[in-house]
Structure 1
Amino acid sequence: MRPTGHHRGRATRFDVIVVGAGAAGAALAARLAEDPDRTVLVLESGPVPGLPPSFAPELLDARLVPGAQPGHPAVQPFPAHLTAGRPYTVVRGRVLGGSTTVNGGYFVRARREDFDRWAAAGGGPVWSYDRMLPFLRALETDLDHGSGPLHGDRGPVRVRRTDLRHPAAAAFGAAARRLGFPAEPDKNAQDEPGFGPVPSNAVDGVRVNTGLACLSRMSGRPNLRVEGDSTVLSVVVERGRATGVVVERHGRRTTVRGGEVVLCAGALRSPQLLQLSGIGPRAALARLGIPVVRNLPAVGARFGDHPQLVLEWAPRRPLPEPVGSWLGGALHLPASDGDHPAGDLEILQSLVPMAGLTGGRVSIPGAPLAFLVSVQTPRPTGRLHVDSADATEPPSLAHGYLSTAEDRRRLREVVRVCAELTATADFAEVGSGLAEPGPRVLADDRLLDAWILGHLGTCHHTCGTVPLGPAVDAYGRVHGVAGLRVADTSILPTAPLRGPAATAVLIGEVVADAMRRGEVMRTGG
């Protein structure tokens, strides 16, 4: 990986321009650069630190979640409405590694049902679980299971499951067993959903983002350049083909030329860049005065995400600080009826107080600990609107949460199960039950709905803004525009039944493999 900075001397033309150095972009660029005769340029809007000592300590400490800290410099905020009356701010990483540098290190694979759904929606046989499993194995080094039919030991991303010996994690596991939930020791194995440790890209207390995991191993490659502080404003399309990008560096705008452009800017920025480049719904582009290059109504038309609530509880005695990760165990509830996929209700344990996660501290004496509960049903209820032709203006997001009675019922269900867990004798060894909602609210649907609305948050799992089928093919190629691909969670037609970080890396691997098999036009340098 060559150091950041401006090109010097004559203009350089790259075979591939990758926009974004996040989960998908870092993985994709590193794989492409394994071919020495392919030149790759990665443009990242945020800073690009080099070796780990160049990263701020909280970006490496797996016991912290920088994305939860308001105003953190490595995070880009986006205004949103979770419901019509619930304004919110969603965030994405703006630094080498993208959101894998600022998130919780949760690295859980999508479920087989997700792949079946994506294949049927437009991905085709390529997106079946059986076809994707070799890529899932190849991207990881599983430190718990090693090489086998389900896991790999030679991939760039090291995966380790969270330690359940912390007293709160042990109590959570005992309470889950008490209530009859099955054990799920490997949440990346497609077993029956239940309680178990969380697969994570945090190893020995260090959050290893994809910039470090994927791109740092390519350090010194003359065919790979990673440029930080480089904000892409649009894609240049000439005679139906993407030929480069317009990029702003330190207040100066330039055009960088390339043989192929791959947008890996994330599910919020990639659709915005497409629309700013004239690729999207004709009526929306016309309102902004943007000439239409390709009418693709699906771009930004909808997205999926997962609603989330924080449920706090007070420890009965001082508990030790977590050692390796802020995460304890996770419980995915078996299906309670035939209308929903098994495991779509998640209860995720935090071993660091929420006040610590938002304040950048591992320990706050006397502060409550928390569970993060969410409904991860694949429901694409969101809408993304680009309101300005100015690339520096963020798009507007409307998540459309709680739009049906069933949405509200599912959130009530997962809240009540969490309350049951904390009320067991096993959990009473460490805690005294939920701080709120209290018994009166828990017993009344109307009161609980009101409490949920007032505390509603999101998992920041946006997917589906440039979906497989209507917008791109199985390898991310944008319909009707040669030389242009999208490779990030934008292309997933629905959000997966688990957090999408591992799937984002998978997308980078799959698209890179397709390009390496000869689908990219070489232009020379």
Structure 2
Amino acid sequence: MTYDVIIVGAGSAGCALAARLSENDSRQVLLLDAGPDYERLDNFPAEISRARSMAATFPGHPINWSFVGELTPGQKYPLARGKLVGGSSAVNGTYFIRGRREDFDQWAALGNDLWSYEQVLPFFKKSERDLDFADEFHGQDGPMPVRRPGQKELQPVSQAFIEACLRAGYPEDPDKNAPAEEGVGPIPRNVVDGFRMNTAVTYLASIRNRPNLTVLGDTFVRRVIFDGKRAVGVETERDGRPAEFRGNEIVLSAGGIKSPHLLMLSGVGPADSLRKHGIEVVHDSPGVGRNVKDHPSVFVNYRVREDRTPLPVDFMPFQTCLNHTAAESTVDGDLQITCGAAPYSRMIGSATGKRIGVPSYLTRPLATLSALRRLPTRLVYTQARNQDNLVLLCSLDAEQSTGEIYLNSADPADSPGISLNYLSDPADLPRVVANVRLALELLQSPQFKRLGTQIVSPSDEDLRKWITGNLGTSLHTSSSARMGPESDPTAVVDQYCRVHGVEGLRVVDISIMPTIIRRGPAATAVMIGERAAALFDLAG
């Protein structure tokens, strides 16, 4: 059978795209993913379905790709990505804030006028069912429920964080998905009754009976098959055996790491690198895997008086955040501080929210140990030592540095190399320092002191040195197959998501972002799937 469309990757963008394309009952759509397909919310293990659990992000978990990248040269770090139908929307922190208006208008200014804020707003609205706001900026009928924690749901540290920010002069920001002044407020979440509303649940569960939609989990795609310059299918491994699927159009929706990896494995990428690994060049596309962007971050650790109260059933691990601008920055809203509402140990240890019980990672000791051996001993020790701390996550949301994703070999089973090159641009580190200083000031406020707050790290040491040695990531790897006109030598796809230089191949996920947005990418990834579906039949 030849499908009309084969989508590789059933994550945030892929599920949305498959659902919308299959609304046309004359179009046969095949959606593939390397991980399991749980089909319905009731079938997901609690450690995945419960929003309070971050267990699947621990290295070695079977539905985690468990990539390892370098944040700075020689500084290895685990990069969790969801490996199941639902993708990273099934394992992330359920942060569902859209990119800013200015982000999308910048995309348009770079030659992508179909992706301006005015063009993408209808697709944000189409994707969501906002349970808190009903106005011109929010949707009411979409598949993705969005809500914010109410006053009574806030943990004491979350409430203290909001009050400390207001006391410091930052404005209140009750709706972070509206184009309003940046400030402090509750985080929009795709969570209902404590359940993580991933895209497999919200976009696919109700349409499984469509005869023109086929969803196959546990299907590892090795490469795209070409006939000359035209993509005609995918080579996969399923049930331990090779299998090929043929399609009129192939869409890579495998995410910011796997999509460029698959392009290169298939012969689309920097020609010299492809030849080095013995891969036949289908199209020399030097931008594949280049210009990579992310949100570097660092944890400010602290403790408060011991609280043994079990986490509530509908607990959300990250409830509030502050978005603000670094002094003398040329980019508005380039910094964020997110207040963790519970220690990481309580997020990975048990999906019940109780302190008692065997941590999830200990139920798979061999896989866990194998994954941890790939990481520096110092990193493993530091994270274990800090797992009972509360944190303020300080992130740089508009880095000037750029990274790279590259081939380690021509074997699809080998993970790609990932060099994020954080802080390589001299404009970045001073802004991270400013963000950490502000976090420390907030923790010394009366609002936090009444909770018995004690700062664990950093101490009075050189902040630049401490940040460089304790750098982390927000796991938002983007722009690795960026969108732009053919005249842009770094562009990989056009604004219809079609790969330059070949036929029948598109990329639809956060790898196509021309520039990284100044917020987490989850909501924007879903929008990309929605927007791309609407553009699918239009002539360029």
TM score, norm. by length of structure 2: 0.89
Residue 502 of structure 2 aligns with which residue?
481
3-state DSSP of counterpart to 2:457: coil
Contact map agreement 2:57 2:81 (CA 8 A) in 1:
no
Partner of 2:200: 211
Of the three residues 24, 37, 46, the one matched with 1:48 is 37
1:329 aligns with 2:316: no
CA RMSD of aligned residues (A): 1.7
- The residue number in structure 1 matching 2:437 is 416
Q: Is residue 451 from structure 1 mapped to residue 439 from structure 2 by the alignment? A: no
Question: What is the CA–CA distance in structure 2 between the aligned matches of 1:193 and 1:513, rounded to whole Å?
Answer: 31
Quote the Cα distance in structure 2 between the aligned partners of 1:28 and 1:137: 15
1:465 is the counterpart of 2:456: no
Unaligned runs of 5+ in 1: 1-11, 442-446, 520-525
Structure 1 partner of 2:368: none
Alpha carbons of structure 1 residues 343 and 58: separation in structure 2 relative to 1, 3 Å: same
Partner of 1:7: none
Q: Secondary structure at the match of 1:17?
A: strand
**Matches of 1:102 and 1:472 in 2, distance apart?**
28
Partners in 2 of 1:457 and 1:360 — Cα distance? 24
Query: In structure 1, which of residues 128, 132, 136 is the aligned counterpart of residue 120 of structure 2?
Result: 132
Offset of 1:420 from its aligned partner?
0.6
Report the AA paired with residue 155 of structure 1.
Answer: G
Letter in 1 for 2:139: G
- Map of 2:349 onto structure 1: 359
Identify which of 329, 335, 339 aligns with 1:349: 339
Matched, 1:153 2:144: no
Give the Cα–Cα distance (whole angstroms) in 2 for the partners of residues 334 and 297 of structure 1: 33
**Contact residue 309 and residue 374 of structure 1 kept, 8 A:** yes
2:119 alignment partner AA: R
User: Paired residue for 2:456, among 435, 439, 444?
Assistant: 435
Instruction: Decide whether the 8 Å contact of 1:306 with 1:461 is kept in 2.
Output: yes
State yes or no: 1:491 paired with 2:515.
Answer: no
Query: How far apart are the structure 2 equivalents of 1:506 and 1:88?
Result: 29
Q: What is the number of equivalent residue pairs in this alignment?
A: 499
AA aligned to 1:152 is: G
Rounded Cα–Cα distance in structure 2 between residues aligned with 1:73 and 1:467: 30
TM-score normalised according to structure 1 size: 0.92
Provide the C-alpha distance between the structure 2 equivalents of 1:335 and 1:407, rounded to a whole number of angstroms. Answer: 10
Offset of residue 79 of structure 1: 1.9
Mapped pair 1:379 → 2:400: yes
Query: 1: distance between equivalents of 2:18 and 2:471?
Result: 37
Residues 260 and 226 of structure 1: is their aligned pair in 2 closer, same or farther, counting only changes over 3 Å?
A: same
- SS of equivalent residue, structure 2 residue 223: strand
Partner AA of 1:252 in structure 2: R
CA deviations over 1:383-432 (Å, ceiling 9, x no partner): 11112111111110111112244322111111110011110112212242
Name the CA distance, whole Å, in 1 between partners of 2:254 and 2:293: 17
Query: In the alignment, is the contact (CA less than 8 A) between 2:338 and 2:394 conserved in 1?
Result: yes
Is 1:89 aligned with 2:104?
A: no
Closer, same or farther: CA 228–343 of 1 in aligned 2, 3 Å: same
Q: Deviations over 1:143-174 (max 9, x none)?
A: 1013x210000111110112343222111111
Q: Is the 1:107–1:199 Cα contact (8 Å) retained in structure 2? A: yes
Amino acid of the residue matched to residue 368 of structure 1? N
- The alignment partner of 1:81 has SS state of strand
- The 5-angstrom pairing of residues 192-271 of structure 1 reads 192-271=181-260
Deviations 1:218-247 (A, max 9, x none): 121110010011011111111321111111
Secondary structure of residue in 2 paired with 1:93: coil
Q: CA separation in 2, counterparts of 1:381 and 1:392?
A: 26
Q: Matched residue of 1:466: which SS?
A: coil
Bigger mean CA deviation after superposition, 104-113 or 321-330 = 321-330
Identity across the alignment (%): 42
Aligned equivalents of 2:466 and 2:354: distance in 1?
28
Partner of 1:110: 99
Q: CA deviation at 1:518?
A: 7.4
> Aligned residue for 2:531?
510
Cα distance in 1 for partners of 2:150, 2:236 equals: 44
**Could you say if the C-alpha distance between residues 239 and 68 of structure 1 is closer, same or farther in structure 2, counting changes exceeding 3 Å?**
closer
Deviates more, 1:429-438 or 1:209-218: 429-438
* Residue 254 of structure 1, CA deviation: 1.8
Q: Distance in 2 between matches of 1:405 and 1:231?
A: 40
State the partner residue of 1:388.
409
In structure 2, the residue corresponding to 1:132 is in which secondary structure? helix
CA 1:275/1:210 → structure 2, altered by over 3 Å: closer, same or farther?
Answer: same
> How has the CA–CA distance of structure 1 residues 67 and 332 changed in structure 2, closer, same or farther, with 3 Å as cutoff?
farther
State the Cα distance separating 1:122 from its structure 2 match: 3.5
- Which one of 67, 83, 90 corresponds to residue 101 of structure 1? 90
**Cα distance in 2, alignment partners of residues 152 and 430 from structure 1:** 38
Residue equivalent to 1:3: none
Whether the aligned pair in 2 keeps the contact of 1:308 and 1:459 (CA below 8 Å) is yes
5+ residue gaps, structure 2: 357-386, 485-490
Judge conservation of contact 1:18–1:25 (CA < 8 Å) in 2: yes
The CA deviation at 1:67 is 4.2
CA distance in 2, matches of 1:319, 1:422: 21
**Structure 1: distance between partners of 2:207 and 2:128:** 16
